[in-house]
Structure 1
Amino acid sequence: DPIARRLAEKYHVIAPDLRGHGESSWSPQGYAVRAFAGDVTGLLGQMGIGPYYLVGHSNGVRVSIAIAGENPGQVRRMALSDAGPATSVEGARFMRDFIARNTNLRGFRDEHEVREFYVAQHPEWVEEFIDLHVQYQVRRNWA
């Protein structure tokens, strides 16, 4: 959201929630990169938008690469952040260790615990990023 606001000062920004992310529903069809890319290109096609600039962060990097690969005439330029087309050995180890550290989490009692978790994991993040993760990255359940 903060990055989209900044880009919107100069560009018309469309920031869709990918399936299973943000306020989008979870998808029983899964979360393959090509499915995400098809969702985005379908949206842009329905809106009659193109050619366009792409900005991809984290999982959005691979989605953007797939979009550019399958629709090269539609992508003017692309900016990628926090990932790349390949995963380094160091990056794979980091993710393996991150998942191992967090797999045993049974849940959080309240939003305060969620906030504490993200602050401990990412002390470098600005408050708004923490707020967004507390709001969108944890799914409430019956408990």
Structure 2
Amino acid sequence: MTAIASGRFRTRAGTLEYAHVSGDGGPALCLLHGLGARWQTFRLLMRTLGPGWNIYAPDLRGHGRSDWVAGHYALSDFAADIEQFLTEVVAEPVVLVGHSMGGWISAMVAAARPEQVRGVVIVDSALYRLSQGQREAMIPYANPNHAMRSIAVSLRLADPELNQRWVEGRNQREQDPDEMLSRLRCPVLLIQGDPAAGALMAPAHVPRALSRLAHGSHVFVPGAGHAVHADAPGPVADALREFIAQRVQNSELNGEVR
């Protein structure tokens, strides 16, 4: 893989750090991490994809090396940053790949800016309203004292306010998932991890999500936990390649999108 470069981008609210791999004219991907993470969560996937991809991976506001913006961590705030990032940095139609909260942000951006988004890949997002019990079960993922070693550094860098929003369930209340998905007209791929390994995309909710998508498809990755792209980068890379070749490019050739 080509070396990963870093950059800084000034949004209307603060500065985002981002990683970039030049693909010399290849398909453009924008990778959006989940709550409490940073762009490095996609490093294995980027390596597995190999050369020929023009990849952008920003740290969302309040995460990683990006600025904290106290009081402004609504899903719409994250989406506004990414819309500006796509316009001013990526500057070409892109496939958005979002993990967990990043999947929600990807869908919101694609609905608002369809001319900028060729397709959306939602990686193990909870595309339903979490119950209080489900939110409480996920609290250890946002607690550096109990976190998996692989994300502990990311959590130490993140604004503590993000954890509080999660515990209170505010992000989940800000966007109706059914309405969000029904607005998408581009091809969408749902990549589901294995609930037995801790994944959040529940099997019962996949058909519901697909029924609301104009051009939806689904891949299940057995044995992979919530961080499917890190647990199983090979299957996720294969699914991405097939999705772009078979769904995105065919939709564009057939005039199904836009």
- With the shorter chain as reference, the TM-score category is 0.5 to 0.7
Alignment RMSD, CA only? 2.7
1:53 paired with 2:95, answer yes
Task: Rate the CA distance shift 1:13–1:19 in 2: closer, same or farther, 3 A.
Answer: same
2:133 aligned partner: 93
Spell out the pairing of 1:18-97 with structure 2 (5 A cutoff).
18-47=60-89, 49-87=91-129, 89=131, 92-97=132-137
* Residue among 101, 123, 134 paired with 2:152: 134
Contact 1:20 1:27 in 2 (8 A): yes
Per-residue CA shift, 1:67-99, capped at 9, x if unaligned? 01101122111111121442355xx53212343
Contact 1:57 1:82 in 2 (8 A): yes
| CA distance in 2: counterparts of 1:46 and 1:137, whole angstroms | 28
| CA distance in 1: counterparts of 2:44 and 2:134, whole angstroms | 26
Spell out the pairing of 1:96-115 with structure 2 (5 A cutoff).
96-99=136-139, 114=145
| CA distance in 2: counterparts of 1:59 and 1:82, whole angstroms | 9
AA at the equivalent of 2:107: I
1:16 paired with 2:81, answer no
AA at the equivalent of 2:153: Q
Contact 1:4 1:15 in 2 (8 A): no
Deviation of the 1:32 alpha carbon = 1.1
AA at the equivalent of 1:24: S
Task: Rate the CA distance shift 1:73–1:82 in 2: closer, same or farther, 3 A.
Answer: same
Deviation of the 1:7 alpha carbon = 3.5
Task: Rate the CA distance shift 1:85–1:50 in 2: closer, same or farther, 3 A.
Answer: farther
Task: Rate the CA distance shift 1:139–1:55 in 2: closer, same or farther, 3 A.
Answer: closer
AA at the equivalent of 1:137: L
1:137 partner SS: helix
Structure 1 length normalisation: TM-score? 0.67
1:53 partner SS: strand
| CA distance in 2: counterparts of 1:96 and 1:136, whole angstroms | 20
Matched residues, percent identical?
28
Is there any run of 5+ residues in structure 1 with no aligned partner, and where? 109-113, 120-129
Contact 2:56 2:90 in 1 (8 A): no
AA at the equivalent of 1:11: W
Task: Rate the CA distance shift 1:8–1:16 in 2: closer, same or farther, 3 A.
Answer: farther
Contact 1:54 1:64 in 2 (8 A): yes
Contact 2:96 2:106 in 1 (8 A): yes
Is there any run of 5+ residues in structure 2 with no aligned partner, and where? 1-42, 159-258
2:147 aligned partner: 118
| CA distance in 1: counterparts of 2:118 and 2:125, whole angstroms | 20
Structure 2 length normalisation: TM-score? 0.39
Per-residue CA shift, 1:23-59, capped at 9, x if unaligned? 1122124111111111111112112522110000011
